Amino acid sequence: MDAVLIIQSLISGIMMGMVYALLGVGFSLTWGVMHVINISHGAFGLLGAYMAYSLLQYFGVDPIVSAAVSVPLLFLVACGIYQLLIRPITRAQNVVMASMILTFGLAIILENVMAIIWKADPRVLTPTYSSGALILGPFYFQYPHVVGFGLSLAGITAIYLFLKKTYTGMAVRAAWQQPEAARLYGVNLYWISMITFALAVSTAGAGGICLALLNSFEPHSHNLWLINLFLVVIVGGVGNVIGTALAGLIIGVITGLSMAFLPFLWVNLVTFGLLMIFLIFRPHGIFKQEGI
Amino acid sequence: MLSVENITVCYGQMKALREVSLEVSTGQMVALIGANGSGKSTLINAISGLVPIAGGEITWEGQTLKGLTPDNICREGIIQVPEGRKLFPAMTVEENLIMGAYHPNVRKQAQESLQKVFSTFPRIADRRRQFAGSLSGGEQQMVALGRALMAKPRLLMLDEPSLGLSPKAAAEIFDIIRGLNKEGMTILLVSQEVMQTLAITTYGYVLENGVLALKDSCDRLLEDPKVKTSYLGL
Amino acid sequence: PGFGAGKTIVIGGSLPLTGAYAETGQWIEKGMLFWAAEINAKGGLLGRNVEFKIYDDQSDVSKAVTFAEKVITVDKVDLLFGGYPGTAARAVMPVAEKHKFVYVSMGGHMKSFEQGYTYSFGAPPLMGEWWYEGFFHWLATVPADKRPQRAAVYTINNPVGLSLTDSIERWTKKLNIQIVINEKYNAPLTDATAMIVKAKQSKCDILFANGFFPDGVTTMKAAKALDYNPKIIVQGVGSVVPAWVKELGKDGDYVFSGTSLSGQLKYPGNDKLNAYTKKTYNLNEYPLYFGFGYAWMQTLEQAVKGAKNLDQTKIRDWLKTNEVNTIAGPMTFDKRGLPEPINFGTQIINGKVELISPKRVQTKEPVYPKPAWKK
Amino acid sequence: MINKLYPAAMAILAVLLAAFPCIGPEVYYLSFLFSIFMYVILASSWNFIGGYAGYISFGHAAFFGIGAFATAKMATMLELPPLLTMLAAIPAGGIAALVALIVGYPCLKIRGPYFSVVTLCFAFVVDLAVKNIEFLGGAEGLWIKFMDIPEKTSRTIMYELMFLLMVITLAASWFLGRSRFGAGLTAIRSDEEVAETMAIPTAKLKIQAFVLSAFFPGVAGGLFAYYLGYIHTDAVFNINISILIVLMAMFGGGGTWLGPIIGAVILTVVNEGLSTFAQAEIARIIYGALFIVVTIFMPNGIIDFFRKKDGMT
Amino acid sequence: MLEGKKITKRFGGLTALSDVDFEVRRSEIVGLIGPNGSGKTTLFNVISGIYAPDGGDLFFENQKITNLLPYKRARMGIGRTFQIVRPLTGLNLIENVATGVLYGRQKKIGSREARERALEILSFTGLSDRARKLPSELILEDRKRLEIARALALHPEILLLDEVFAGLNPTEISSAIELTFRIREKYGTTIFMIEHVMKAIMNTCSRIIVLNFGIKLTEGSPDEVANNPEVISAYLGAAYAKC
Ligand SMILES: Nc1ncnc2c1ncn2[C@@H]1O[C@H](COP(=O)(O)OP(=O)(O)OP(=O)(O)O)[C@@H](O)[C@H]1O
Ligand SMILES: Nc1ncnc2c1ncn2[C@@H]1O[C@H](COP(=O)(O)OP(=O)(O)OP(=O)(O)O)[C@@H](O)[C@H]1O
Ligand SMILES: [Mg+2]
Ligand SMILES: [Mg+2]
pLDDT in tens, A5-57: 999 999 999 999 999 999 999 999 998 888 899 999 999 999 999 999 999 99
Between CA C102 and CA D242 the distance in angstroms is 34
Chains C and A touch, contact meaning at least 3 pairs of CB atoms under 8 angstroms apart: yes
Q: From atom 2 of ligand 1, which residue's Cα is the shortest distance away?
A: B11
Whether the per-residue pLDDT at A284 is higher than 90: the answer is: no
| Cβ–Cβ gap A170/B89 under 8 Å | no
pLDDT in tens, C104-125: 998 878 888 999 999 999 989 9
Whether residue D302 lies inside any domain: the answer is no
Q: Give the 3-state DSSP-derived string for chain A, with helices as H, strands as E and coil as C.
A: CCHHHHHHHHHHHHHHHHHHHHHHHHHHHHHHHHCCCCCCHHHHHHHHHHHHHHHHHHHCCCHHHHHHHHHHHHHHHHHHHHHHHHHHHCCCCCHHHHHHHHHHHHHHHHHHHHHHHHCCCCECCCCCCCCCEEEECCEEEEHHHHHHHHHHHHHHHHHHHHHHHCHHHHHHHHHHHCHHHHHHCCCCHHHHHHHHHHHHHHHHHHHHHHHHHHCCECCCCHHHHHHHHHHHHHHHCCCCHHHHHHHHHHHHHHHHHHHHHCCHHHHHHHHHHHHHHHHHHCCCCCCCCCCC
Neighbours of B, requiring at least 3 CB pairs below 8 Å, are A, E
Positions of E strands within B38-195:
55-60, 63-64, 78-81, 155-159, 186-190
Burial profile C96-120: b = 16 or more Cβ within 10 angstroms, e = fewer: bbbbebbbbbbbbbbbbbebebbbb
Q: Which residues of B touch A167 (CB under 8 A)?
A: 98, 102, 107
CA torsion angle C59 C62 C67 C73 (round to 10): 170
Whether residue D18 lies inside any domain: the answer is no
Q: Is B13 in the pocket of ligand 1 (CB under 6 A)?
A: no
Summarize the confidence of residues B222-227 as an average pLDDT: 86
Summarize the confidence of residues C72-99 as an average pLDDT: 93
Whether residue D77 lies inside any domain: the answer is yes
| Cβ–Cβ gap C91/D228 under 8 Å | yes
Whether the CB-CB separation of C98 and C75 falls below 8 Å is answered with no
User: How many CA within 13 A on the CB side of residue C269?
Assistant: 21
D284: nearest CB among C18, C94, C112: C18
Residue D151 pLDDT: 86
Residue E166 touches chain B, beta carbons under 8 Å: yes
Q: Which residues of A touch C246 (CB under 8 A)?
A: 121
Q: Name the strand (E) or helix (H) holding D159.
A: helix D151-178
Between CA C254 and CA B79 the distance in angstroms is 73
Residue C183 touches chain A, beta carbons under 8 Å: yes
Best to test chain D binding among A31, A96, A99, A276 (most D CBs inside 10 Å): A276
D198: nearest CB among E50, E95, E99: E99
Whether the per-residue pLDDT at E242 is higher than 60: the answer is: no
| Cβ–Cβ gap C186/A126 under 8 Å | no
Q: What are phi and psi of E218, to 5 degrees?
A: -165, 180
Whether residue E175 lies inside any domain: the answer is yes
Per-residue CA distances from D221 to A115, A221, C62, D168, E76 (Å): 32, 27, 12, 15, 43
Q: Model ipTM?
A: 0.90
CA torsion angle A174 A176 A179 A181 (round to 10): -30
The amino acid present at C36, given as its one-letter code, is A
Q: Which residues of C touch D143 (CB under 8 A)?
A: 90, 115
**Number of Cβ pairs < 8 A linking chain A and chain D:** 120
pLDDT in tens, A193-218: 999 999 999 999 999 999 999 899 99
Q: What is the DSSP letter of E233?
A: I
pLDDT in tens, B59-116: 999 899 988 999 999 989 999 999 888 999 889 999 999 999 998 888 999 999 999 9
Residue D163 touches chain A, beta carbons under 8 Å: no
CATH number at residue E214: 3.40.50.300
pLDDT in tens, C76-87: 999 999 889 999
Summarize the confidence of residues C17-37 as an average pLDDT: 94
Host domain of residue A57: 3-291
The angle formed by the CA atoms of residues C256, C258 and C259, to the nearest 5 degrees, is: 140
Q: How many domains are contained in chain D? A: 1
Whether residue D251 lies inside any domain: the answer is no
Q: Is B42 in the pocket of ligand 1 (CB under 6 A)?
A: yes
Question: Ligand 2 mean position to C366 CA, how many Å?
Answer: 77
Between CA B233 and CA B119 the distance in angstroms is 38
Confidence (pTM): 0.91
Pocket around ligand 2: residues whose beta carbon is below 6 Å from it?
B 134, 136-137, 164; E 11, 14, 16, 34, 36-42, 83
Q: Judge if the upstream peptide bond of residue E222 is cis by omega within 30 degrees of 0.
A: no
Q: Is B36 in the pocket of ligand 1 (CB under 6 A)?
A: yes
Neighbours of D126 (CB within 10 A): 23
Host domain of residue D148: 25-238
Summarize the confidence of residues C214-242 as an average pLDDT: 92
Q: How many domains are contained in chain E? A: 1
Residue C375 pLDDT: 59
- CATH architecture, domain B1-77+154-234: 3-Layer(aba) Sandwich (3.40)
The amino acid present at D236, given as its one-letter code, is V
| Cβ–Cβ gap A142/C188 under 8 Å | no
Between CA E138 and CA E146 the distance in angstroms is 9
Estimate the crossing angle of helix A222-236 against helix D239-252, to 10 degrees.
Answer: 80
Residue B162 pLDDT: 86
pLDDT in tens, C252-278: 999 999 999 999 999 999 999 999 999
Between CA E149 and CA D198 the distance in angstroms is 11
Whether residue D100 lies inside any domain: the answer is yes
Between CA E58 and CA E67 the distance in angstroms is 9
**Number of Cβ pairs < 8 A linking chain A and chain C:** 129
Q: Which of E166, C278, E211, E143 is nearest to B84 (CA)?
A: E166
Q: From atom 8 of ligand 2, which residue's Cα is the shortest distance away?
A: E42
- Domain boundary assignment for chain B: 1-77+154-234, 87-152
Whether the per-residue pLDDT at E18 is higher than 80: the answer is: yes
User: How many CA within 13 A on the CB side of residue C17?
Assistant: 19
Helix (H, G, I), strand (E, B), or coil: what is residue C40?
helix
Summarize the confidence of residues C281-295 as an average pLDDT: 93
Q: What are phi and psi of E195, to 5 degrees?
A: -155, 145
Question: Ligand 2 mean position to D176 CA, how many Å?
Answer: 38
| Cβ–Cβ gap A290/B89 under 8 Å | yes
Neighbours of D80 (CB within 10 A): 17
Summarize the confidence of residues E32-38 as an average pLDDT: 88
Host domain of residue E29: 2-77+156-241
Q: What are phi and psi of B173, to 5 degrees?
A: -65, -45
Residue C345 pLDDT: 95
Q: Which of B7, B8, B11, B160 to mutate to test the pocket of ligand 1 (most atoms within 8 A of CB)?
A: B11
- From E185's Cα to the closest Cα of chain D, the distance in A is 22
Between CA C361 and CA C366 the distance in angstroms is 13
Q: Which of D135, C222, D132 is nearest to A268 (CA)?
A: D132
| Helix (DSSP H) and strand (DSSP E) numbers for chain E | 10, 10
DSSP lists the bridge partners of residue A236 as: none
Best to test chain A binding among B42, B48, B51, B71 (most A CBs inside 10 Å): B71
Q: What is the DSSP letter of D278?
A: S
| Cβ–Cβ gap A280/D106 under 8 Å | yes
Residues 304-363, chain C, touching A (beta carbon < 8 A): none
Residue E199 pLDDT: 83
The angle formed by the CA atoms of residues E158, E159 and E162, to the nearest 5 degrees, is: 145
Q: How many domains are contained in chain A? A: 1
